């Protein structure tokens, strides 16, 4: 038997069925499933973020799901440190199965991660408020003015990466590229790695997204958002921006109808899935694709 530890990496856009695939693999191999989704780390929002159910978690060991209070920010660096500690405690004979849709997490596992300093929440909040009303062109223009190097490297000025770059520049006085020059090796550099991207045709994925969100309304999503809003949290926190939270809270406040809330959440999920697919095509082009047929959720 090889001395190498084994890892299975299962990536895919939201609603693609990757969590079910990971669960089937874990039940077969006895492996531990590790969350690689930046929203599923937060508590309170099991249904809204499509975390595995209590029953599914009982079928195999799961880690880093719902592990962070919704009132906290959890950076990629913090995820890397949590995973480093976790895998050190797992029996080396067990397979570790990473599953999720957050490309930066998979980058950290396979290509390495630049340990950028944590930025004060107050700085992140100011930057977030500044770019909230901007479209992609506006975000790119702002980034170009403050961190031209990062602006030139980004193909798409998605909000998360723009906020991160601007916040780092303002907090440290250095562009994020200054820290990225000191890239740490991938966490799984000496592991045997099996990579898979779960892939669905766009229209099949769109249908699954619509069906899943409509089902969420009937299975606890509304109650979760009520519980989250009752905590009186800073609206700029990542958990408060999870797809479904703004829409459901707007419906509850009477600012839109139930049907409008569902439609807007579905549209937002489509847009998110599109960004995920773009990342996978550009940054993970060498990963084998598992082409999935239309299947029930």
Annotated binding residues for ATP, written as ranges, equal: 12-19
User: What residues are paired with 172 via a beta bridge?
Assistant: none
Token couple for 21 = 């695939």
User: What residues are paired with 63 via a beta bridge?
Assistant: 34
Q: Are 65 and 41 in contact (CB under 8 A)?
A: yes
Burial class (CB in 10 A: 0-12, 13-18, 19+), 204: middle
Token couple for 55 = 């029953």
Q: Give the distance from CA 248 to its chain's centroid.
A: 20
Instruction: Read off φ and ψ for residue 114, nearest 5 degrees.
Output: -85, 125
Q: Strands 192-199 and 6-11, how do they pair? A: parallel
Burial class (CB in 10 A: 0-12, 13-18, 19+), 128: buried
What is the rounded distance in angstroms from the CA atom of residue 15 to the CA atom of residue 198? 10
Q: Which residue bears the tokens 């080396």?
A: 92
Query: At 246, is the secondary structure helix, strand, or coil?
Result: helix
Q: Which residues are annotated as part of the binding site for substrate?
A: 14-19
Q: Which residues are annotated as part of the binding site?
A: 12-19
Q: Which residues contact 46 (CB under 8 A, 6 or more apart)?
A: 53, 66, 220, 224
Query: At 291, is the secondary structure helix, strand, or coil?
Result: strand
């Amino acid at each position: 038997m090889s001395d190498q530890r084994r890892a299975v990496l299962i990536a895919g856009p939201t609603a693609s069925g990757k969590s079910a695939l990971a669960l089937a693999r874990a039940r077969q191999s006895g492996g531990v499933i590790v969350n690689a989704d930046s929203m599923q780390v937060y508590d309170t929002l099991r249904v809204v973020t499509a975390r595995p159910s209590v029953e599914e978690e009982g079928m195999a060991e799961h880690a880093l799901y719902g592990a962070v209070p919704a009132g906290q920010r959890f950076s990629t660096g913090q995820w890397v440190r949590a995973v480093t500690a976790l895998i050190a405690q797992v029996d080396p004979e067990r397979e570790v199965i990473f599953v999720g849709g957050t490309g930066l997490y998979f980058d950290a596992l396979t290509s390495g991660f630049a340990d950028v300093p944590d930025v004060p929440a107050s700085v992140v909040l100011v930057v977030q408020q500044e770019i909230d009303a901007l479209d992609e062109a506006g975000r790119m223009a702002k980034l170009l003015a403050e961190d031209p190097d990062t602006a030139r490297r980004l193909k798409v000025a998605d909000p998360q990466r723009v906020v991160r770059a601007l916040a780092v520049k303002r907090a440290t006085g250095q562009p994020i590229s200054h820290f990225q020059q000191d890239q740490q090796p991938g966490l799984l550099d000496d592991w045997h790695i099996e990579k898979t991207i779960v892939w669905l045709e766009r229209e099949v994925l769109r249908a699954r997204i619509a069906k899943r969100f409509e089902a969420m309304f009937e299975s606890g999503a509304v109650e979760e958002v009520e519980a989250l809003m009752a905590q009186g949290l800073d609206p700029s926190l990542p958990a408060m921006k999870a797809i479904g939270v703004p829409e459901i809270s707007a419906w509850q406040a009477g600012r839109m109808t139930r049907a409008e809330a569902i439609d807007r959440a579905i549209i937002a999920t489509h847009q998110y899935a599109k960004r995920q697919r773009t990342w996978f095509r550009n940054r993970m082009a060498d990963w084998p694709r598992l082409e999935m047929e239309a299947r029930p959720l």
